């Protein structure tokens, strides 16, 4: 998974699509208190309470009409024959140790020394972005949880034999290698404060995420399609930077992870493509709804115990290095619009046509807004300390 452009892409109120009628009965809206809390500061009966440092204001649940559950039941055969083919057998999959110093070899210490020498040439800005990407990958338990909130496709037992459940577990297993590999590489580099990084991971998993997918698989699979492409772009760019900076092994690592993300992107976009084929109106309304709300990336509740704006600062550094930018956000939407043939959809309702027009016109509008926002961002740039690199300051 990848980072967010919450800092860079302006509030969606600037380009809101408002459907005249909700897609389905929104059976439950849960209000939650604050977006920023200081953990372990409240005391009751002499005992400190654990409070997630990040919470969301409002959550909508179960927005998909119940009658549409049958669509996903009917697609189980398709998922078995098509979706599961995008998984690789474990015995043919790479593992983190394939890219790391061999702990059981006599040359282990020399290999670690060589790794650390290469890492000396990498600037702090690069490490901030690489650490942020790694933390995002390490919050994988949250992403599996998110997929298992989706009505009609969740793993009901934890070991369900349905194709949807098999996909979720196997996708998680493949993704798990990404954080493992980057974590070990960063630990061996000696360039980062692993304890602060580990705290950030624990805070992030404890806070969860709010992708605004509403238990709705239409919204969920649109979200994951966008997410996987964003992650493919981000890891691809960290690979390019590593190569330019002379760390060819790290470039190989990031490129290998990017290839996984590309394969997963293809799988998720196939699901949405199938939904457009079966229910074009419901799917275009879902796409417009997600873009109206704006895609919030998995680590948007990131916190290290010190910086209340950590994710914003991390995203700004990624933007400045060109690892993941507001332009990428617009490009991803444009790519998906073309991938799903959104402009040529036919047989839509009047509301579906309005959603189609909104989505097709959005990339250009985002780019115009981004150009203005970038000018303001440059004027507001300042040095910010990052605990991940021992409090050293980076322009953000």
Q: Are strands 28-31 and 58-61 parallel, antiparallel or unpaired?
A: antiparallel
- Nearest Cα neighbor of 94 from 159, 175, 24, 5 is 175
81 is catalytic: no
Helix (H) or strand (E) holding 384: strand 383-385
106 is catalytic: no
Catalytic residue among 94, 198, 279, 308: 94
Catalytic residue among 228, 281, 304, 370: 228
178 is catalytic: yes
Catalytic residue among 261, 281, 304, 370: 261
Catalytic residue among 133, 180, 260, 307: 260
Q: At 96, list the tokens.
A: 């983190």
Give how far Cα 62 sits from Cα of 65, 215, 296, 311, 373, Å.
Answer: 8, 5, 19, 28, 35
164 is catalytic: no
Q: How many whole angstroms separate alpha carbon 256 and alpha carbon 236?
A: 9
261 is catalytic: yes
228 is catalytic: yes
CB 200 within 8 A of CB 265: no
CB burial of 94-133 (b: ≥16 within 10 Å; e: otherwise) equals: bebeebbbeeeeeeeeebbeebeebbeebebbbbbbbbbb
Q: How many whole angstroms separate alpha carbon 236 and alpha carbon 253?
A: 10
82 is catalytic: no
Q: How many whole angstroms separate alpha carbon 265 and alpha carbon 255?
A: 15
Catalytic residue among 138, 142, 164, 178: 178
Catalytic residue among 235, 241, 264, 313: 264
Catalytic residue among 138, 174, 175, 370: 175
3-class secondary structure, 130: helix
Find the distance separating the first CA and the last CA of the chain, reported in whole Å.
22
Residue that the structure tokens 């493949």 belong to: 174
Catalytic residue numbers read 94, 137, 175, 178, 228, 231, 260-261, 264
């Amino acid at each position: 998974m990848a980072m967010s452009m919450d800092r860079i892409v302006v509030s969606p109120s600037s380009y809101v699509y408002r459907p005249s009628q909700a897609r389905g009965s929104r059976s439950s809206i849960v209000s939650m208190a604050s977006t920023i809390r200081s953990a372990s500061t409240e005391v009751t009966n002499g005992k400190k309470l654990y409070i997630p440092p990040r919470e969301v204001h409002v959550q909508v649940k179960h927005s998909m009409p119940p009658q549409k559950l049958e669509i996903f039941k009917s697609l189980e055969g398709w998922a078995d024959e098509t979706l599961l083919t995008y998984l690789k057998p474990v015995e043919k999959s790479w593992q983190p140790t394939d890219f790391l110093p061999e702990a059981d070899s006599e040359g282990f210490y020399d290999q670690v020394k060589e790794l650390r020498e290469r890492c000396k040439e990498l600037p702090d800005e690069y490490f901030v972005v690489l650490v942020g990407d790694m933390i995002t990958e390490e919050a994988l338990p949250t992403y599996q949880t998110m997929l298992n909130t989706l009505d009609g496709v969740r793993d009901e037992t934890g070991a369900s034999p349905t194709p949807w459940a098999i996909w979720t577990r196997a996708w998680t297993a493949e993704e798990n290698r990404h954080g493992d590999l980057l974590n070990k590489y960063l630990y061996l580099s000696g360039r980062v404060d692993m304890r602060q990084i580990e705290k950030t991971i624990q805070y992030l998993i404890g806070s969860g995420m709010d992708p605004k997918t509403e238990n709705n698989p239409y919204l969920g699979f649109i979200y994951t399609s966008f997410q996987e492409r964003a992650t493919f772009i981000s890891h691809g760019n960290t690979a390019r930077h590593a190569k330019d900076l002379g760390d060819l092994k790290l470039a190989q690592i990031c490129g290998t992870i990017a290839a996984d993300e590309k394969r997963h992107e293809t799988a998720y976009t196939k699901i949405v493509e199938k939904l457009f084929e079966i229910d074009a109106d419901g799917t275009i309304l879902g796409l417009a709804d997600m873009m109206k709300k704006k895609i919030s990336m998995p680590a948007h509740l990131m916190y290290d115990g010190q910086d209340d704006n950590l994710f914003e600062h991390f995203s700004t550094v990624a933007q400045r290095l060109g690892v993941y930018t507001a332009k990428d956000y617009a490009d991803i939407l444009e790519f998906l619009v073309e991938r799903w043939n959104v402009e040529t959809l036919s047989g839509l309702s009047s509301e579906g046509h309005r959603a189609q027009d909104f989505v097709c016109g959005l990339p250009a509008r985002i780019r115009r807004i981004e150009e203005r926002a970038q000018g303001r961002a440059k004027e507001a740039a300042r040095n910010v300390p990052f605990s991940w690199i021992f409090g050293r300051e980076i322009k953000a």
